[in-house]
Structure 1
Amino acid sequence: MKNLANLYQWVKYLLIFIVVVAVYTWSLQGIKVDTQVMQDSWQYVTKFLADFFPPNWEVLDIAVKALIETIQMSLWGTTIGAILSIPIAIASARNTAPIWLRWIANFLQNAVRSVPSIILGLIFVAATGLGAPAGTLALSIYTIGYLAKFYQQAIEAVDSRSLESLQVIGASKLQIAQYGILPQVLPLALGYTLWMFEYNIRAASVLGVVGAGGIGFQLKSYIDGFEYTKATTMMLVLLVVVTLIDALSSKLRQRLEQI
């Protein structure tokens, strides 16, 4: 009997392996990779990358100003998106909302996540014109699609036994939320929000491609003008700041997890 069970496990794992290989083979056929073209392209890639060096530090002041604007966009975009995500997350969680409301809220989340950030940037550039306001609004909507989902998962992960204990002693719904849900959700929610702020700095640099302000706008301008060494300075400044913010937010998230 034991040998039969072991044989069943091996057959199951073998079938899973075959399915995974088949899926990846199908995917590889779909993207039509030409290995000869890949081999020949390296010389062009290296030549293109060589044009980016050495960096032109004469535009360092412009890079810093553009980066400050990018951080400001990310800060406001993340904050607005986080505030708007809270009611959507509550309406999406299975332990806080009826099924009909969950369906609507989850559909809204999926709808927002299905729109790329660059499309949101184009929409708000058309509405408000070129510049940081369009980028900030685009980041706000983009943030909702992810933070609402993260907050929802945090709410659904709440220990139901603690809520039941509060209900037994006659706590009101507001007290249950204040003493049962909030203490468990807050550290996770703050950690997710910090991660989203860090991510939005990168997203804001992409939004600059469509004229939504920030360092991405300057970066695209230099690349379009074949001023690659100036574009390198922009990317290096962005890399330094993103690395610093990543390290800082990681430490903050670790402390929040210990609360």
Structure 2
Amino acid sequence: MKFFASRFKSAWSKRLLILGGLILVYGWALRGLKLDLEMLNQSVPYTIDFISRLLPPDWSVIDVAVNALVETIQMSLWGTTIGALLSIPIALLSAHNLTPSWVRWIANLVQNAVRSVPSIVLGLFFVSATGLGAPAGTLALGIYTIGYLAKLYQEAIESVDPSSIESLRVSGASWLQIAQYGIFPQVLPLGLGYTLYMFEYNIRSASVLGVVGAGGIGFELVNYIRGFEYNKATTMMLVLLVVVIMIDGVSNQLRRRLETL
């Protein structure tokens, strides 16, 4: 009984320490935010005024919205595909069950370097290189995708059953053969699910890239906002919302089917 009582007290002590640590961390973060509740209260009328300017939507620009949305989907499709293809070798080189530590260090450095660059900065870079329009947005999305898909692919590879890899190594299989026959068949459904999720995410990211002139529906949205044509901007946002909901539903269904493979 004394043993169980001491274990019980030890477990509760750890939980209290963790809870106390979390309270301190969140308190520190809240203090850093410097929230002014009085200012927030005074800003309510301005917020209501801004929202009222967005309504009702101006449906006269629906054709512009649809064309811009098609361009956004095309950008996201190619950007996700480019990023996914480039992520595969980086993920393989980053996995601890496939490569030596010095190779993993370099591959992980590449991942972290790409993730540390905001998508809008990538958009500015490619706009300066290729000019305004969809090509800049597509390339920015492709590089942005690498930082996240490479990490997700890496984690999928590292979760593979080690016995299958070890049996291939014992039989004398090369590194590429281990990846082809021991890794890809196990991670393919999960990897495709991650790619579909990234495609859905990139459609939303593409709208942000429009701020720097990288094409798509975001470019039209920013132009309307800058011109104080808020009703037209609302139409753009509603069209984007409908398509995101549809793609989210379709990708969820596809991911569930892939999980059963």
Give yes or no for TM over 0.5: yes
What SS does the aligned partner of 1:140 have? helix
Question: What's the CA shift for 1:164?
Answer: 2.4
Task: Identify the residue that residue 58 of structure 1 maps to in structure 2.
Answer: 60
Q: Equivalents in 2 of 1:168, 1:91: separation in Å?
A: 20
Q: Which residue of 2 aligns with 1:128?
A: 130
Structure 2 match to 1:10? 12
Report 1:144-163 matches (<5 A).
Answer: 144-163=146-165
What's the CA shift string for 1:76-105, capped at 9, x where partnerless?
000011111111111111111111111001
1:24 CA drift (Å): 0.7
Q: CA deviation digits over 1:48-91, x for unaligned, max 9?
A: 10100000000000000000000000000000111111111111
Preserved CA contact (<8 Å) 2:134 2:215:
yes
Measured after TM superposition, the shift of residue 169 of structure 1 is: 4.8
Tell me the distance in 1 between the aligned counterparts of 2:204 and 2:145.
Answer: 13
Residue of structure 1 in register with 2:81 after alignment: 79
Identity %: 67
How do 1:105-254 and structure 2 match up within 5 A?
A: 105-169=107-171, 171-254=173-256
Rounded to whole Å, the distance in 2 between the matches of 1:102 and 1:69 is 37
Residue type at the aligned position of 1:179: Y
Q: Give the C-alpha shift of residue 12 in structure 1.
A: 1.3
CA 1:169 to 1:99, structure 2 compared with 1: closer, same or farther past 3 Å? closer
- How far did 1:168 drift? 4.3
Does 1:39 find its partner at 2:41?
yes
Residue 130 of structure 1 aligns with an amino acid whose one-letter code is L
User: What letter corresponds to residue 219 of structure 2 in structure 1?
Assistant: F
* In 2: Cα distance, 1:140 partner to 1:151 partner: 16
Deviation at 1:182, TM superposition (A): 1.1
Query: C-alpha deviations, 1:112-161, integer Å up to 9, x for none?
Result: 00000000000111111110010001001000000111111111111011
Q: Distance in 2 between matches of 1:169 and 1:127?
A: 49
User: 1 CA distance for matches of 2:175 and 2:70?
Assistant: 43
Paired residue for 2:30, among 17, 28, 31? Answer: 28
Please report how far the alpha carbon of residue 163 of structure 1 lies from its aligned counterpart in structure 2 after TM superposition. Answer: 2.0
TM-score between both structures, scaled by the size of structure 2: 0.96
Partners of 1:36 and 1:177 in 2: CA distance? 59
Counterpart amino acid of 2:81?
Answer: T
Q: Is the 8 A contact 2:98 2:175 kept in 1?
A: no
Paired residues, what number? 259
- Output the amino acid matched with 1:131: G
Q: Tell me the amino acid that sits aligned with residue 186 of structure 1.
A: L
CA contact 2:200–2:248 (8 Å) conserved in 1 = yes
> In the aligned structure 1, how far is the partner of 2:32 from the partner of 2:95?
37
Residue 103 (structure 2) aligns with? 101
Question: In 2, Cα distance between the equivalents of 1:185 and 1:49?
Answer: 45
Q: Distance in 2 between matches of 1:169 and 1:123?
A: 48
- In the TM superposition, what is the alpha-carbon distance from 1:165 to its structure 2 partner? 3.0
Gapped regions of structure 2 (runs ≥ 5): none
Q: Find the aligned partners of 2:11 and 2:184 in 1 and give their Cα distance.
A: 43
Q: 1:100 to 1:167 in 2, by over 3 A?
A: closer
Q: 1:70 maps to which residue?
A: 72
Counterpart Cα distance in 2 of 1:90 and 1:99: 13
| Structure 2 residue matching 1:155: 3-state secondary structure | helix
